[in-house]
Amino acid sequence: MLRFDVHSPVEEIRLPLYTEKNVRVFVKRDDLIHPYISGNKWRKLKYTLNQAIQQDRTLLVTFGGAWSNHLLATACAGAKFGFKTFAFVRGEEVDNPVLKLCKLFGMQLKFTDRQRYKEKETLFEEYFAKDSNAYFIDEGGYGPHGMMGCSEVIDELNEYYEHIFCACGTGTTAAGLLHGINKNRLTSIVHAVPVLKGGSFIGEEIAKLLPNGQENLQLHTAYHCGGYAKTTPSLISFVKDFTQQTGVLLEPTYTGKLVFALHDLLAKDQIPSGSKILILHTGGLTGLLGMLDRF
């Protein structure tokens, strides 16, 4: 098995809102795991890469957008653990700092029109059906191996939290948290905050990975701010204020919307007084590079 052990710290955040609502809020700092294999990205890759090794595969093939944290994490992990890497990138050909870093780590990129990109398994078969070294990794690390890696967040906790908040793009992380909660026989509620418009589909994706054991899931679909990577002035202002007040850096695509949702739910008294709350900081801070002009 690959040796890249992680155990990210948990720190308490103190803000006037938390005092007012009589709650304690903690952050699981998965953003500190690694500069590029950051947050839930390593957790979602861990068992996937180990299976690739077991199958003697040497080429990781995956998918993502032009600012994808998953692509960067896969590129870096490939370089670190001796894999070649290839990615189908959604949309027209562009050049940006994240893709430059992917190439610096040795990843080969293939830009793909958005319609063809939807058929990921077909693309993989078209280009790699005859390559016995190629190993398919779904967009964002989605899949049962990713879920198993994310479930280990719960194993690492030394305290009990009534409410655990995470941002959602594919549902893998939320499924992993639920799996860990069920395995450890806890009663914590997982609050999943989809960052895409129409995020109710996340519930369906979680159900595919975890057919049973979703009783502790709450989906909050109203905090997408217009869609994936979309922002609003209030979200940008919130990210700036939170970062300056706490020293914990957020980005608007995932963690900004996540913490914004928590604060809104607290303001509306939808989280009980006396609660102990954990925010899972899933990293991906390189996404800020494409949004700095919004601040």
CATH no. for residue 29? 3.40.50.1100
- pLDDT, tens only, 92-144: 999 999 999 999 999 999 999 999 999 999 999 999 999 999 999 999 999 99
Dig out the tokens for 181 from the structure. 């909660």
Q: Tell which of 116, 141, 166 closes a domain.
A: 141
pTM for this entry: 0.95
The reply to whether 273 belongs to the active site is no
Q: Which of 8, 38, 68, 151 is catalytic?
A: 68
Nearest CA to 31 out of 66, 6, 63 is that of 6
- Quick one: 134 and 56 in the same domain? yes
- pLDDT, tens only, 191-245: 999 999 999 999 999 999 999 888 999 999 999 999 998 999 999 999 999 999 9
Sign of CA dihedral 251, 257, 258, 259: positive
State which residues form the domain around 128: 40-141
- Quick one: 160 and 128 in the same domain? no
- Quick one: 66 and 169 in the same domain? no
Helices 172-183 and 40-54 cross at an angle (nearest 10°) of 80
Looking at residue 4, what is its pLDDT?
Answer: 65
Which stretch of 3-7, 64-68, 249-253 has the lowest confidence by average pLDDT? 3-7
Q: Provide the number of structural domains found in the chain.
A: 2
- Quick one: 265 and 234 in the same domain? yes
SS3 state at 279? strand
Query: Which band of pLDDT confidence, cut at 50, 70 and 90, is reported for residue 150?
Result: very high
What does the pLDDT average to over 49-57?
96
CA separation for the pair 13, 136 (Å, rounded) = 39
